[in-house]
Amino acid sequence: MKLPPPLSWFYDAWMEFSKALGFIMSKIILTILWIIGFGTYGIILKIMKLFRKEKVTRDSYWIDVPPTPPDDLHHQF
């Protein structure tokens, strides 16, 4: 956009101000949304975990697999 010199100075200053303001506001808004969104999601999951009826207490989640015979490993690749 071609403006006369006094107006172009105001326009350029306004554009720089709006870029700075947009950068600051986006950081604030995104931070608030992040905290509210994921914070409440995490709190709800913790509360649901507290009221779960079955308590899973295992020593290990390891599943024993029977060993494969050496003949199965003949043509690996």
Q: What is the pLDDT of residues 54-68, one digit of tens each?
A: 776 778 888 888 887
Residue 1 reports pLDDT greater than 70:
no
The pTM (predicted TM-score) of the whole model is 0.43
Burial 30-41, CB ≥16 within 10 A → b, else e: eeeeeeeeeeee
* C-alpha span between 55 and 43 (Å, rounded): 19
Residue 72 reports pLDDT greater than 80:
no
Provide CB contacts within 8 A for 3, sequence distance 6+. Answer: 11
Provide CB contacts within 8 A for 1, sequence distance 6+. Answer: 11
Q: How far is CA 9 from the centre of its chain?
A: 41
pLDDT at 20: 93
pLDDT at 14: 92
